[in-house]
Amino acid sequence: MSGEGRIIVTGADGFIGQALCGHLRQRGVQVRALVRELDGEAQTPGDDNVAIGDLATSEEGALATAIGGARVVVHLAGRAHVNREDAADPGDAYHRANCLGTQRLAAAAAAAGVARFIFASTVKVNGEATLPGHPFVESDAVDPRDAYARSKWAAEQSLRDVARDTALDVTILRLPLLYGRGVKGNFAKLVNAIARGVPLPLGAVANRRSLLSVANFASAIDVLLALPTPAPRHRDATYFVADAEAPSTPALIRAVAAALCVSARLVSVPLPLLRLAGACVDQSAAIVRLTSSLEVDTTAFRAATGWRPPFTLEEGLRGMKPNTP
């Protein structure tokens, strides 16, 4: 593989990876998509699509070949939240996928002379909620509460070690919930419920939740790709990236409904009663996510790069469709 100057995108077959690869290729950027395994007709083996297997166990030679000649690695691959846990040791599974795999990939990138390594981390490294008017900033203490967040925090620390010991420039992006066409997980469930006209008892919620459309994420990557390699060497930086808007849960529901051309069926239920109901059906965590604030301050990233999110919430939601008939 020649690949001189290419951009490596791991997790290229995921929701975010597909959107980013499509965006970059549309701009004429040479992209090499790294995936665990090739997906039939959707991906053909070659210089543009490479099956690398499990990053935590892939042979060093295979990693070196896959990365060879690339200029930047955008690392999206990892283990996210799973609805039906089947791992014997979930903590170890998260650590291997999100920390060990990241560490090995970064070491291979540094050895191959890659200039920049961009890592998609999570706002959950800082915690599960913010106080009103106090969004997370980069200097806040970390507070990872679950195995997923702890594995991402461990990965960040391993990347800083690699950046300190090599010439690799590391940029860590702590991201909030991403959305857009093809979104999966809890956001997709919410979209499906709104599309079906399910009454949602969230009308009384008065919170603020930072979000990031995949289109705005891609624009942030554009800005990072355009930056010169920093001097002095061994630099690493951590930033929050999010849309300009941080809607409340009811405002988000109304925006999704508008994008789907349906009515938002919001019912105002007092929060104490809502949380009590959530506890009764073992959905306390889900109710907390929907009713609490989780907001980030993107000032540092905007100041360092000149980035401004080009798309509004309405534009980011445009074209979304429910995943069920």
Same domain, residue pair 54 and 147: yes
Same domain, residue pair 162 and 63: yes
Over residues 308-319, mean pLDDT: 95
pLDDT of 262 over the 60 cut: yes
Same domain, residue pair 78 and 196: no
As a residue count, the chain comes to: 325
Same domain, residue pair 270 and 226: no
Helix/strand/coil for 11: coil
pLDDT tens, residue by residue, 206-255: 999 999 999 999 999 999 999 886 644 446 799 999 999 999 999 999 99
pLDDT tens, residue by residue, 9-30: 999 999 999 999 999 999 999 9
User: What are the strands of the beta sheet with 236-240, ordered from one edge?
Assistant: 49-51, 31-35, 7-10, 72-75, 116-122, 169-175, 236-240
Give yes or no for a contact between 183 and 14, defined as CB atoms under 8 angstroms apart.
no
Structure tokens that stand for 2 in this block:
């020649």
**320 lies in a domain?**
no
Over residues 170-186, mean pLDDT: 94
pLDDT of 40 over the 70 cut: no
**1 lies in a domain?**
no
Structure tokens that stand for 101 in this block:
């795999």
**277 lies in a domain?**
yes
Provide the pLDDT confidence category of residue 260 given band limits of 50, 70 and 90: very high
Same domain, residue pair 87 and 36: yes
pLDDT of residue 289: 84
Structure pTM? 0.92
Give yes or no for a contact between 98 and 148, defined as CB atoms under 8 angstroms apart.
yes
**2 lies in a domain?**
no
Same domain, residue pair 92 and 134: yes
pLDDT of 325 over the 50 cut: no
Count of domains observed in the chain: 2
**317 lies in a domain?**
no
pLDDT of residue 9: 97
pLDDT of residue 97: 92
pLDDT of residue 232: 46
Could you tell me the residue range of the domain that residue 286 belongs to? 185-206+246-291
How is 277-309 classified by DSSP, letter by letter? HHHHTT-HHHHHHHHSBB-B--HHHHHHH----
**75 lies in a domain?**
yes
Over residues 86-96, mean pLDDT: 83
Residues with a catalytic annotation lie at 148
Q: Which residue has the tokens 């998609």?
A: 120
Give yes or no for a contact between 156 and 122, defined as CB atoms under 8 angstroms apart.
no
- Residue 68: give its domain's CATH number: 3.40.50.720
**304 lies in a domain?**
yes
The single-letter DSSP state of residue 136 is B
Lowest mean pLDDT among 36-50, 64-78, 148-162: 36-50
pLDDT tens, residue by residue, 140-173: 999 999 999 999 999 999 999 999 999 899 999 9
pLDDT of residue 85: 63
Same domain, residue pair 228 and 308: yes
